[in-house]
Structure 1
Amino acid sequence: MKIYVVKQGDSVDSIAESQGIPVETLVWANQIEYPYRLAVGQALYISDGETGEGRRPLFSSGYAYPFIDSGVLEDTLPYLSAINVFSYGFTEDGNLVLPMTDDAWMIERALQWGVRPVLTLTPLGEDGHFNNNLVSALVRSQENQQRLIWELGRTMQEKGYEGLDIDFEYVLAEDRVEYADFVRRATQVLNIFGYTVTVALAPKTSAQQRGLLYEGIDYRLLGEAAN
């Protein structure tokens, strides 16, 4: 692949012609909507026509609620490697909280398309609201972690999930190490049964970045802990 930077006087037609690709390919690859306006300095993706042989595979995934429109899901699944079903929560005692809408149909559709259904775990309480106090209660208790991990494994087996995505936000700075330890324990246990564990990360620009979204997220520790 290569990147083309739009210059004064360029159009989708002139760029496509100069790069030797169909206009439709250029428009689709860059999601340029009609009437195909371009901005000077805009970066466009240009396929180089290589087959990708010898390269590492590319994986694509997305998050979706169980109440997603079925047509939207059907249109999207062919382009995904995995679909992260959002979201399971947990209580202060480490008991798993199921989504408010049944997710069985999403898992079935994903498997039909050869897409990996992934269970997403977030700190949602029984009331369906986000509660970052649940994170602290979980990572500071190995007993609660053990209970939650085994409930996750049982649920994933029963429902047909093929992986776990841990998506915790607003992790306190003082819980940074303990959070990574929880991810490591979950990975060690679930890998035994063939499940992969991923972790969603806030987009940090430095290890010292300040703010509630960032201080409890240690890229190195979490990268070592998850698959």
Structure 2
Amino acid sequence: MFIYVVKTGDSLYSIATKYHVSMDSIWYKNALNSDRLVPGQDLIIPTNMYIVQPGDSLYSIAQMALLPMETIRLINCLCSDELWVGMNLYIPPRVKYFAKDFGYITPSTPEKNQIIVQRFASITNYYGIFEYHIFEDGSLSSIPNDEQLVTLVGMNNVAPLAVITNLTQTGFSQDLVGKILNNPELSQRVIDHIYNLVKSKNYAGVNIDFEKVRGEDRDKYSCFLCLLRERLRPEGYCTSVALPAKTSDEISWLQGYDYGGIGASVDFVFIMAYDWHEVSSLPGPVAPINEVRKTIEYAQNYIRRNKIILGVARYGYDWMMSNGKVESARAISVMDAMETAMKYQAPIQYSIEDQQPFYRYRDESGKLHIVWFEDVKALAQKLQMVVDYQLKGIGAWQLGLHFPQAGYLVDDFLTKQL
């Protein structure tokens, strides 16, 4: 397969004809809801042959095929980089990297649970079932009917992990997590409740997502995770943690996260490598590639590579502007972002520096909107970094957000490690 970027004047018919594939195959692989396209939209073209077009170079074809130039040159017995229009090039299957992958899911109806679980089971090792809250007395909230979901996940050969957060009605609470970490008796009570939850509900382990941990609680948080792992590990349960992306120890609001201490205390970490721009910020890339790279390079100084799962986004943000300022913003799935671009026929641009797409449009009331999101090309760059840095795998927030092309791309890069 390769990724084609729609150009002005393209139609589904013209693209299918150009590359000798069926319209239905493009429609299916990209989960299109209409045959309307927009310039800048990326499409997976399901074929292992590439027909050289005017203006192509070996470099541009290698970029579309997500393969090194040398691989294409060797497999096609090319003596030089010279190509001619109409030439057929074979695109070989990628040598897949063995990885363990993680995806967050939120419980829904039994029917929707089954669709989500089965859709991604072939490429996923862990499902983080979101979420259980901790209370001030150390007890945990419940998830209605989670037994059905846990059973379904296990039947599909994926390990269900209970996600435990310090989320309250007013957001992630520093005070709540600080109170627990600074009270040994309360910490132990939380650990006991987590153990009982995992054991009674047949979870394979936990994923701890304590956010906004204060700097003064840094060592206590690592110690809490170590004690939790010591309680769970003898019975074969997994302890993992979600970590905010961090590129240095100088960032004050992230000093509560000791990558070295945490990495030594758990089985693996899920690094939330996204939200450099979000609803409370100015418009900008959600997961700029250079920041993601710096996060990985910082993390691997403190955490073994085979413990790092790179978290990626299945979404973007739509900022509504007024006089150059953000009036409001909302999160949208990748599919929502694409459909909005098609609805308003807003050409999609691509930031080479950030390796992320963006566009602008005006709604029915004339308001300017700026949208940044993840797409196939952007995700491909993150998958390549998982391979290049030899990480444990890739993870997603969250699988219920519609990004139909992502599964095919992950399957092209990675093989599920059992």
Q: For residues 128 and 116 of structure 1, do their structure 2 counterparts lie closer, same or farther at Cα, with a shift above 3 Å needed?
A: farther
- Partner amino acid, structure 2, of 1:114: N
TM (normalized to structure 1)? 0.75
2:237 to 189, 195, 209: 195
Q: For residues 76 and 142 of structure 1, do their structure 2 counterparts lie closer, same or farther at Cα, with a shift above 3 Å needed?
A: same
CA distance in 1, matches of 2:238, 2:257: 20
Q: For residues 79 and 66 of structure 1, do their structure 2 counterparts lie closer, same or farther at Cα, with a shift above 3 Å needed?
A: same
- Partner amino acid, structure 1, of 2:131: S
- Partner amino acid, structure 2, of 1:180: S
Q: Cα RMSD (Å) of the superposition?
A: 3.7
Identity among equivalent pairs (%)? 24
Q: Is the 8 A contact 2:163 2:208 kept in 1?
A: yes
Q: For residues 136 and 67 of structure 1, do their structure 2 counterparts lie closer, same or farther at Cα, with a shift above 3 Å needed?
A: same
- Partner amino acid, structure 2, of 1:80: T
Bigger share in strand: 2
SS where residue 129 of structure 2 aligns?
strand
2:147 to 81, 99, 104: 104
- Partner amino acid, structure 1, of 2:197: T
In structure 2, the residue matched to 1:79 is: 123
How far the C-alpha of 1:130 sits from its partner, in A, is: 3.9
2:105 to 55, 61, 64: 64
SS where residue 67 of structure 1 aligns?
coil
After superposition, give the CA deviation of every residue in 1:7-42 in whole Å (9 maximum; x if it has no partner): x99x9x7xxx8xxxxx979x96xx697748558x9x
In structure 2, the residue matched to 1:179 is: 221
CA distance in 1, matches of 2:64, 2:235: 42
How far the C-alpha of 1:72 sits from its partner, in A, is: 3.1
Matched pairs, number: 213
CA distance in 1, matches of 2:208, 2:230: 14
Q: For residues 96 and 131 of structure 1, do their structure 2 counterparts lie closer, same or farther at Cα, with a shift above 3 Å needed?
A: same
In structure 2, the residue matched to 1:216 is: 256
Any gaps of 5 or more consecutive residues in structure 1? 18-22
- Partner amino acid, structure 2, of 1:226: V
In structure 2, the residue matched to 1:148 is: 190
TM (normalized to structure 2)? 0.43
Q: Is the 8 A contact 2:159 2:203 kept in 1?
A: yes
1:93 to 134, 137, 141: 137
Q: Is the 8 A contact 2:215 2:252 kept in 1?
A: no
How far the C-alpha of 1:51 sits from its partner, in A, is: 4.9
SS where residue 257 of structure 2 aligns?
coil
In structure 2, the residue matched to 1:164 is: 206
Which structure is richer in relative contact order (CA contacts within 8 A, separation 6 or more)? Answer: 2
CA distance in 2, matches of 1:178, 1:89: 19
After superposition, give the CA deviation of every residue in 1:43-85 in whole Å (9 maximum; x if it has no partner): 6562663554xx6x30111111122633333323333111100
Any gaps of 5 or more consecutive residues in structure 2? 42-59, 68-91, 268-418
Q: For residues 207 and 103 of structure 1, do their structure 2 counterparts lie closer, same or farther at Cα, with a shift above 3 Å needed?
A: same
How far the C-alpha of 1:215 sits from its partner, in A, is: 2.4
SS where residue 199 of structure 2 aligns?
helix
CA distance in 1, matches of 2:258, 2:65: 32
Q: For residues 134 and 112 of structure 1, do their structure 2 counterparts lie closer, same or farther at Cα, with a shift above 3 Å needed?
A: same
CA distance in 2, matches of 1:221, 1:75: 35
Q: For residues 95 and 76 of structure 1, do their structure 2 counterparts lie closer, same or farther at Cα, with a shift above 3 Å needed?
A: same
- Partner amino acid, structure 2, of 1:49: P
SS where residue 240 of structure 2 aligns?
strand
